[in-house]
Amino acid sequence: MNARQYAEFYNEQAKNDNIAPYFTQGQVDSFSTVQGTDWQDAILRNAPQLNNVLTVSGGNAKTRFSISGGIFKQQGIVRNSDYNRYTLRANIDQEISSKFTVNYSTTLTRIQSARQNSGQASRGSSLISAMQSAPPTLSPSVNGYYRNLVTAYPFISNVLINPVANVNETSDALRSNRILANVAVIYKPVAGLSIKISGGIENEDFTTNQYSNGFTAANAASLITTAGSANVFASGNTSLLNENIITYTKAWGDHSLTATTGFYLSEL
């Protein structure tokens, strides 16, 4: 609804409740000359993506390699949010002899993201629900202060936040690093028999920095100051994996037989 429709709607509610109108006719008429606040337009935006990948590969009869790097960037549809991922991959296959082959692969990933709390909540207590229910008759700020929406009207939700203040004055930054490396040795002692011994390691670490700036919200009667806060969370994990696989293949005439056995060990 635009500002006039909003005022007329709540005046109709007041009429049904047999109470005085919330808005005077003069206020309703004045809303016809102003656009009002589009809270969704104030919070949301078009979010372009950038995805670049560069790959180099080559080799010879005994050595083959591939190296690639990628950059993925995307703005969030909520203002002041984004997601950035940087990736580097390398693969090398080396034939040492007719019986031995070594494979190596690694992937390095860095993620940096600025997030906004857009989780579900009712009655305007979260960013998205506040964006949908904030009055179009009011601006996000007044006299240089964020507007305190809770006390704006008697019918308004008592947990309604100012979504513009929430987007501008809070941050939730994530940084993550991930390393995945694998190496395998393949041994073929006789024709049809293959023994593969491989090992891998995966390491991840996460750091989250959350910050809420203290700010002052205004209404017609007073100024309300909100305290700031800051939190840092860090975590990490490492896992190891060893796989041992024996494969035997035998073909005769139009028939063939393949048998595989193996076991693995892992540590988290």
pLDDT tens-digit readout, 48-66: 999 999 999 999 989 999 9
Domains of the chain, earliest start first: 1-36 (no CATH), 47-267 (2.40.170.20)
Q: What mean pLDDT comes out for the span 27-55?
A: 91
Q: Is 80 exceeded by the pLDDT of residue 203?
A: yes
DSSP SS3 for 24: coil
CA separation for the pair 130, 139 (Å, rounded): 14
pLDDT of residue 221: 60
DSSP codes joined into one string, 156-217: S-TT---HHHHHHHEEEEEEEEEEEEEEEEEE--STTEEEEEEEEEEEEEEEEEEEE--EEE
- Interval 263-268 mean pLDDT: 83
The pTM (predicted TM-score) of the whole model is 0.80
How confident is residue 67, by pLDDT bands cut at 50, 70 and 90?
very high
